[in-house]
Amino acid sequence: MTDEAPATGRIRFADSPVVPRLGAALGAALTGAGGLLGLTVLVLMAGHGSVLPIDRAAHTWSMHHRPGVLVTLAGVVTATGTGVFPYAAAVAAGLIAGRDMRRRLGCALGALVFLLLGQALRYGLMEAIGRSRPPVGHWATHASGFAFPSGHATTSTLMAGLLVAAIGHRARGSGAGGVAAVLLGCWAVAVGLSRILLGVHWATDVVAGWLFAACWLGLGAALIRTARPGHPG
């Protein structure tokens, strides 16, 4: 009897919801840390307006491989990463994640604030670095402001992350979260690549946007996992 008690205690601890929650928080924190590390490396490499060889190579390739049809398609894709879409997606993610109307409204507000804070931080970083865009004569669409990190790449990745988290939470065990992650992930990548193809961003601008979003999403997920006693919604 005395030998079985510790084993039972260990089993109960392993079965506790605290264990997977802490594991998820650790995974989110590592994702955020990885994004921050990668972003820091790019900031050091691309700081002071430097244009890297990979940037020039990707830009030159895109200039010679963008027929009219592809430019039109890229323009449609890139338009989904700005304007009202990000904020509508944040609200939709909150409404999906909440279990009842009160929680849905709270989650929607939280997701919207999370997105706005991320946008503000990205803008501050962009202004601090002040990296110029590719030559304006190479642009196939309108753009404004500095280049690094890409606003479209950042915003679309944040949108995708919020929606994936909401769908994954709401449809646990159904596989819908995995499908959403693949589809929305591909969409976010397409938005980022469209900025390179359209000639308005260097490749490392886009990668920096993805890394910034990964850092912000990881931080947000880690805080939620550790601060709340149970699953959100």
Q: What is the CATH number of the domain that holds 124?
A: 1.20.144
pLDDT at 211 over 70: yes
Residue 213 has pLDDT above 70, yes or no: yes
Across 186-210, average pLDDT: 96
d(CA 106, CA 89): 15
Q: Kindly state the tokens that stand for 35.
A: 């994004």
Q: What is the pLDDT of residues 101-136, one digit of tens each?
A: 888 899 999 999 999 999 999 999 999 999 999 999
The rounded mean pLDDT for the chain is: 84
Identify the band that residue 13 occupies on the pLDDT scale cut at 50, 70 and 90.
Answer: very low
Q: Which domain holds residue 135?
A: 23-227
| Structure confidence by residue, pLDDT tens digits, 49-96 | 788 999 999 999 999 999 999 999 999 999 999 999 999 999 999 999
Residue 153's pLDDT band (boundaries 50, 70, 90)? Answer: very high
Instruction: Report how far residue 8's alpha carbon sits from residue 108's, in angstroms, rounded to the nearest whole number.
Output: 41
Asked whether residue 200 is domain-assigned, the answer is: yes
- E strands, 74-229, where? none
On whether the CB atoms of residues 150 and 209 are closer than 8 A, the answer is yes
As for how many domains the chain has, the answer is 1
Tally of helices (H runs) and strands (E runs) in the chain:
9, 0
Q: Is residue 146 part of a domain?
A: yes
Residue 40 lies in a domain: yes
| Chain segment 22-58, per-residue pLDDT in tens | 556 666 667 777 777 878 888 888 777 788 999 999 9
Residue 204 lies in a domain: yes
